[in-house]
Structure 1
Amino acid sequence: MNDEGGHDAAAVSIAGGEVLFPARYRCPHCGAAGFASQDAPRGVIEETTVVRRRVDAGSAGDVCLARVRTAGGVVVIARLDAALPVGTTVALFVDDRHRVLARAAA
């Protein structure tokens, strides 16, 4: 758990060694259900976009999204607090609403 109530660890399939983020119930590559925990992944922003209109969101405001490639090669779409430039290194975690979030790494 992190300080925001979410999870900040990746799962590593014990059988196949595949790194998964966010964690899954079963490894999509080998089907195994046994996982070990690994430090929260970091990645680099490859592309960004802004969602300006969302169905049933009312006037909730814009949402910044980024495609992030981790050092292990996993690519995730993550929500950003604010727009960040391509090439920025970010830390990834999953919040209590199961959203993948990215924040500029310290």
Structure 2
Amino acid sequence: MSYEASLKHKRDAENVFNSAKKSGEALGHAKGLAEGKAKGLAEGKAKGLAEGLAEGERRKAVETAKAFKEMGLPTADIAKGTGLSVEEIENSKVLYGKSSFFYIKKVTGNNCSN
């Protein structure tokens, strides 16, 4: 084999290797992005579900507290039965029929934007 043919063979082999390397890197990058996106979506769904469940539990506690208040139960017993604090129950417009569930969040400083 002549020197020129040997050099051409070497360059061809290098080009094939570099092309395969670039193709593999692109494939790995695309796979990494897809896996990262899937993981991010799963974590986002889990967080959203947890926040939604917590908000639902809180709304139920407020509804229960309102019903207990209407039944004439003492505030301490309402707090014990619902998990709300005495302060939340005493200061809440929810239990006095003037506002909505979100008033308790405002009074206590709780919000869904954590």
Coarse TM-score class (shorter-chain normalised)? under 0.3
- Higher-Rg member (1/2): 2
Q: Kindly indicate whether structure 1 or structure 2 has the higher relative contact order, using CA contacts under 8 Å at least 6 residues apart.
A: 1
Q: TM-score, normalised by structure 2?
A: 0.20
Higher-strand-fraction structure: 1
Higher-helix-fraction structure: 2
Q: TM-score, normalised by structure 1?
A: 0.21
